[in-house]
Amino acid sequence: MTALAQLKSRLLEIDNIRHAADVLRWDQTTYMPPGGAAARGRQLGTLTQLSHERFTDPETGRLLDAAARETAALPYDSDEASLLRVTRREWEQSVKMPSALVAEMNEHSTLSYQAWTTARPANDFTAVRPLLERTLELSRRMADCFPGYEHVADPLIDFSDYGMKASKVRALFSELRAGLVPIVRAITSRTPVDDSCLKRRAPEADQWAFGLAVIKRFGYDLERGRQDKTHHPFMTKFSLGDVRITTRIREDDLSDGLFATLHECGHALYEQGIDMRLEGTPLAGGTSSGVHESQSRLWENLVGRSAGFWEFFYPEIQRALPRQLGDVARDAFYKAINKVERSLIRVDADEVTYNLHVMLRFELELDMLEGKLAVKDLPRVWRDRFEADFGVPVPDDRTGCMQDVHWFAGPIGGAFQGYTIGNVLSAQFHKAALAAQPRIPDEIRRGEFGTLREWLRENVYRHGSKFTADEIIQRASGGPLTTGPYLDYLWSKYQPLYGLEASERQPLSVG
Amino acid sequence: MTALAQLKSRLLEIDNIRHAADVLRWDQTTYMPPGGAAARGRQLGTLTQLSHERFTDPETGRLLDAAARETAALPYDSDEASLLRVTRREWEQSVKMPSALVAEMNEHSTLSYQAWTTARPANDFTAVRPLLERTLELSRRMADCFPGYEHVADPLIDFSDYGMKASKVRALFSELRAGLVPIVRAITSRTPVDDSCLKRRAPEADQWAFGLAVIKRFGYDLERGRQDKTHHPFMTKFSLGDVRITTRIREDDLSDGLFATLHECGHALYEQGIDMRLEGTPLAGGTSSGVHESQSRLWENLVGRSAGFWEFFYPEIQRALPRQLGDVARDAFYKAINKVERSLIRVDADEVTYNLHVMLRFELELDMLEGKLAVKDLPRVWRDRFEADFGVPVPDDRTGCMQDVHWFAGPIGGAFQGYTIGNVLSAQFHKAALAAQPRIPDEIRRGEFGTLREWLRENVYRHGSKFTADEIIQRASGGPLTTGPYLDYLWSKYQPLYGLEASERQPLSVG
């Protein structure tokens, strides 16, 4: 048996344990009764520890070395060379962090998350402050396991967006902000859109059925997936043959659940599109949080909130929800689902203002990690910067610095940049797809998505994690990550929607 | 750290892995899409192997020895002494069987089960015959890992009904048969009951809601459990705080799903009633398949098919299903749900004839293990004996020797006796409960079950596996397993239902 075969067998066993844990997590948020919580924590702890032990075992390192010698002659983009390259990267990330630190972070995150679930509704930042201080300390210690970094956030960013340094993200965000702020200003100077048609009470079952009908047309394969209900929608995968999504339905908001469904479906199409040859290896998953998010946002926004999409689907949704939408013109509905407004909550934000929320968090993360911002000052600084960016006062911490779970369930650093990278990339991939296949917009107007999906599968999905985000972007779009297509997309969509003047697009000077 | 504490920590880790596997199995039969099957098999294989390796590790044996010395002075029925006694028994059962044989049996069972799923509908015994021959050989080899047995089936019976030897089961069954056959003959000489009221089309949701309402009143705690749909109803447990049941609903048979729900609820009440102190140890589960089945049958039959139960619930089910039962008298309904008839299929059999199905299988198991009956002759011998017992010809193997999954998914031997032991015990426990708490029947007529459930919890459930079946029977009923209460129960119920004469009860002479 070759070292490569032994390595694959070892990785398959680890993959089995990791995905077993994913099943337990899925159940935890979909069906588990409250009484199951305590034991579920223990069960997940055991599985996580087992897979971590087996992965970081020195034997894995020896097999990686031996298999690398066996496959030295194979080309860079072969499955084997890619497997060794990517597994070694992940292995080095894992072995460089002491198990004790990993365990400490996990235990601390559990405590911190529990405290947050009660402190947030109570608007009680003091209750989580010491926990957040410890999170910051542990996050720095995690980063310090990777000496030689350019910025202390870089190793943390590497966990989700490998290769994306703080300096690169800062430059990208600065360019994006310069382009976005004038558009936000211009739109918010107009009369607000009336979106009351979305707030008419719509039965859960009807909303559910319509969302499911759409994602079936997107090509989500229900023989290899399913949708269930949760509080916080997510996508998860137990194998390439079992890629599940969850959604939530609000009966008083008929767009909330629908776009959550399309969003998670985008993630799922990525995973379902991975080449079956990669099954059971670390390559059988999306390559980075940014590229993953590009797919959820592409299907949710560039497809699902486009005028062409609703040419086909508006009559369908009117049939599905006749009492709610029978008397609403398509154009009014289209405007409502694309309403732009300055608001407090990131997850409810429209696609134009959304990135400003992310940038705020990213900057605060860097400041905290650099020691420029103390946790105790976070609520005040959040309020000040938010009001400066959005012109909206923050009434409390619950809708301010405590609104997102991320800092209370994992490290500070690396948690948010992927969302905006994803938005930027969604337009970059979309533009490349349309350049290669100009018939895509016509198809979408007919409710067909095969050409778009197949282009994405061919150029992005099938590779799984064989290539880094930078490599995939270069391969699929012919150039590096850039904000141009995204800003062009927003302008070309919102200029007519809000009757903007060309002069209003003038970007801020980048400082 | 004491050896006992180390042992408990080790057992908790094993418990975590085993219950993680149970979550995966539950998902497999409730929600998993078809595409997930291949990977799910691998995932379960890895978890099973991991827990087996850890349990059979010599370190477990050393800790058992050391902990036994630490706890030598503790009384027999203390949690600690019981933990060591029961864990040692399970450990010895596990270590005496070579891992290779366990793996071989598991792999063979998977193949065999797959073949059965297609061979049964095709009525193709020849397709499974070689597999069944191999199952028999492997079953004998498993038994031979425990030399010194009285009967080759005894070690196999020990896996599910510890301490129940073939000789004891034979004696019990022989006595039971002598009492049952005259009752079956007497009943089947009467005009068959009209049960057409059960076959009226009833919507799934209405049936589901009624079943759930009943088991809530039984005391099934939905904060620590839930019900989902499957093809083959079962109970499973992920912790004492998460005890789930599944059921199926047939819209053309309104009793099928209801009694499946009550049956599984009986299993669940047992598990939910186990003392929380035993959580995470091998003691936190029912003690034997017979005692477990006694609880499912007690709640399904002795409670759920009793006249007193329907005094309260008949108006309720009429309200739940007015179009189906509005014009049906309670007595007609009561007769319909207690219809006795000779039929081909064990799982559809009424409570009087059911045990004859089990006895046939048990005898065939012993004959095969003893080498008296060759697998090739099984179909013919099944048909002959079935017709002799039931007076009904067996038209094919699909409704004959291939009807049950057991021999195609595990060893031959030990698979069936628990069902009949459970029936016998259900009446023995019920009688003891009523002797101790004479108000139980009145309560049931008012739809209250607290006194019965609490008596069972106190005398059976809370102990988990601390005591063997024999010990629990002695403690709870004051004597050993005996057929008297069960035969008395059947007679006192069916005598008035079918207008039987006292002379018709005359038992056969036991030969």
Q: Which amino acid is at A488?
A: D
Are B190 and B224 in contact by the 8 Å Cβ rule? The answer is no
A196 CB burial (10 A radius; 0-12, 13-18, 19+) = exposed
| pLDDT attached to residue A508 | 82
Assess whether pLDDT exceeds 80 at residue A14: yes
Give residue B149's identity as a one-letter amino acid code.
Answer: Y
Please tell me whether residue B216 adopts helix, strand or coil conformation: helix
CB contact A276 to B (< 8 Å): no
Q: How far apart are CA A109 and CA A412, in angstroms?
A: 11
C-beta separation of B422 from B172 below 8 A: no
pLDDT above 70 (res A121): yes
Average pLDDT, rounded, for chain B: 96
Predicted confidence (pLDDT) per residue in B307-354, tens digit: 999 999 999 999 999 999 999 999 999 999 999 999 999 999 999 999
CA-wise closest residue to B184 among B507, B455, B459:
B507
Q: Which of B11, B17, B42, B237 to mutate to test the interface with A (most CBs of A within 10 A)?
A: B42
Separation CA B307–CA A437 (nearest Å): 72
CB B338 within 8 A of CB B198: no
CB contact at 8 A, B409 and B109 = yes
Whole-angstrom distance, CA of residue B479 vs CA of residue B58: 39
The pLDDT score that the predictor gives to residue A103 is: 86
Q: Does the distance separating the beta carbons of A17 and B47 come in below 8 Å? A: yes
Contact criterion met (CB below 8 Å) for B333 and B202: no
pLDDT for position A18: 97
* Bridge partners for B245 per DSSP: B227, B235
What letters, b where the CB count within 10 A reaches 16 and e where it falls short, cover A78-95?
Answer: ebebbbbbbbbbebebeb
Question: Considering CB atoms only, which of B33, B45, B244 is closest to A242?
Answer: B33
What is the full DSSP assignment across B51-70?
HHHHHHSHHHHHHHHHHHHH
Tokens 């420029």 belong to which residue?
Answer: A372
Q: Is some CB atom of chain A closer than 8 A to the CB atom of B221?
A: yes
Buried b / exposed e along B140-156 (16+ C-beta atoms within 10 A): bebbeebeebebbbbbb
Q: What is the pLDDT of residues A452-507, one digit of tens each?
A: 999 999 999 999 999 999 999 999 999 999 999 999 999 999 999 999 999 999 88
Residues 29-68 of A with CB under 8 A from B: 31-40, 42-43, 45-47, 50
B10, B11, B30, B40: best to mutate for the A interface, most A CBs within 10 A = B40
Tell me if chain B has a CB within 8 Å of the CB of A25: no
What is the CB neighbour count within 10 angstroms for residue B230?
17
Give me Rg for the CA atoms of chain B: 23
Q: Do B35 and A280 touch (CB under 8 A)?
A: no
Say whether pLDDT at B134 is over 80. Answer: yes
Per-residue pLDDT at B511 exceeds 70: no
A226 neighbourhood in chain B, CB within 8 Å: 31, 33
Contacts of B37 in chain A (CB under 8 A): 241
CA-closest candidate to residue A283, choices A94, A83, A89, A462 = A83
CA A134, distance to chain mean position in Å, is 26
Least Cα distance to A180 among A418, A498, A483, A455 occurs for: A483
Q: pLDDT tens, A185-210?
A: 999 999 999 999 999 999 999 999 99
pTM of structure: 0.95
Range list of β-strands (E), B95-145: none
Nearest chain A CA: its distance from B57 CA (Å): 16
Token pair, residue B38, equals 């291949």
**Amino acid identity for residue B145 in this structure:** C
Q: How far is CA A494 from CA A44, A193, A263, A352, in A?
A: 46, 12, 21, 9
Give the pLDDT of residue A94: 94
Reading the block at residue A409, the tokens are 């369930």
List helix spans (H) across A338-447: 354-370, 378-390, 417-436, 440-445
| A368 Cα to chain B: minimum distance (Å) | 38
Write out chain A residues lying below 8 Å of B226, CB-based.
31, 33
User: Within an 8 Å CB–CB cutoff, is residue B510 touching chain A?
Assistant: no
User: pLDDT tens, B188-222?
Assistant: 999 999 999 999 999 999 999 999 999 999 999 99
Is pLDDT above 60 for A360?
A: yes
CB A268 within 8 A of CB A220: yes
Q: How confident is the model at residue A511 (pLDDT cuts 50, 70, 90)?
A: low
Query: Which of A151, A141, A105 is closest to A365 using CA atoms?
Result: A151
Q: Are A154 and A460 in contact (CB under 8 A)?
A: no
* For residues A216-241, average pLDDT: 97
Q: Please judge whether A35 and B223 are an interchain contact, meaning their C-beta atoms are less than 8 angstroms apart.
A: yes
Which of B25, B43, B51, B239 is the best substitution to test chain A (most A C-beta atoms within 10 A)?
A: B43
Q: Convert the pLDDT of each residue in B50-101 to its tens digit.
A: 999 999 999 999 999 999 999 999 999 999 999 999 999 999 999 999 888 9
To the nearest whole angstrom, how far is the Cα of B26 from the nearest Cα of chain A? 10
Contact status, residue B44 vs residue B50, Cβ threshold 8 Å:
no
Q: Chain B within 8 Å of A178 (Cβ-Cβ)? A: no
Q: How many Å lie between the alpha carbon of A71 and the closest alpha carbon of chain B?
A: 27
Active site residue A264: yes
- Which residues of B belong to the active site? 264
Give the number of A-B residue pairs with CB atoms closer than 8 Å. Answer: 130
Full strand arrangement of the beta sheet holding B227-229: B227-229, B242-247, B235-239
Residues of B in contact with A27 (CB under 8 A): 23, 27
What's the rounded Cα separation, in Å, for the pair B139 and B149? Answer: 14
- Per the prediction, chain A carries an average pLDDT of 96
> Would an 8 Å CB–CB cutoff place A149 in contact with chain B?
no
Confidence of residue B107 (pLDDT cuts 50, 70, 90): confident
Predicted interface score ipTM higher than 0.90: yes
A20 touches chain B (CB under 8 A): yes
Q: Which among A55, A47, A56, A45 is positioned nearest to A18, based on CA atoms?
A: A47
Give the model's pLDDT for residue B62: 98
Q: How many residues does chain A have?
A: 511
The residue behind tokens 């297609």 is B118
Nearest partner of A337 among A357, A317, A323, A322, judged by Cα: A317
Whether the per-residue pLDDT at A510 is higher than 70: the answer is: no
State pLDDT tens for residues B154-194.
Answer: 999 999 999 999 999 999 999 999 999 999 999 999 999 99
Q: pLDDT by residue (tens digit) across A280-324?
A: 999 999 999 999 999 999 999 999 999 999 999 999 999 999 999
Determine, for residues A17 and B242 on separate chains, whether the beta-carbon distance falls below 8 Å.
Answer: no
Q: What is the pLDDT of residues B426-458, one digit of tens each?
A: 999 999 999 999 999 999 999 999 999 999 999
Residue A340 confidence class, pLDDT cut points 50, 70, 90: very high
* pLDDT for res A99: 85
Closest chain B residue to A45 measured between Cα atoms? B16
Asked if B223's CB is within 8 angstroms of A46's CB, the reply is no
Q: Which residues of A touch B224 (CB under 8 A)?
A: 33-36
Q: Is the pLDDT of residue B510 over 70?
A: no
What are the tens digits of pLDDT across the range B382-396? 999 999 999 999 999
Q: Give pLDDT, residue B124.
A: 98
Residues 6+ apart with CB under 8 A from B502: none
Selected for mutation to probe chain B from A12, A26, A32, A42 (highest B CB count within 10 Å) is: A42
**Cβ of residue B212 closer than 8 Å to a chain A Cβ:** no
Instruction: Find, among A240, A265, A237, A231, the residue nearest to A28 by Cα.
Output: A231
The answer to whether residues A388 and A359 touch, using CB atoms and an 8 Å cutoff, is no
Contacts of B40 in chain A (CB under 8 A): 238-239, 242
Token digits of residue A230? 């949760």
Tell me which residue has tokens 């930078």.
A470
**Closest residue in A to B15 (Cα–Cα):** A43
Q: Which two tokens stand for residue A69?
A: 């010698």
Task: Specify the DSSP class assigned to residue A72.
Answer: T
Nearest CB partner across the interface for B241, out of A36, A50, A280: A36
Provide the pLDDT confidence category of residue B106 given band limits of 50, 70 and 90.
confident
pLDDT tens, residue by residue, A54-97 = 999 999 999 999 999 999 999 999 999 999 999 999 999 999 99
Contact predicate B446/B312, CB 8 Å: yes
- Mapping DSSP onto H, E and C, the string for B308-357 reads HHHHHHHHHHHHHCHHHHCCCCHHHHHHHHCCCCCCCCHHHCCCCCHHHH
d(CA B220, CA B269): 6
Q: In this structure, which amino acid lies at residue A207?
A: Q
A236, A188 in Cβ contact below 8 A?
A: no
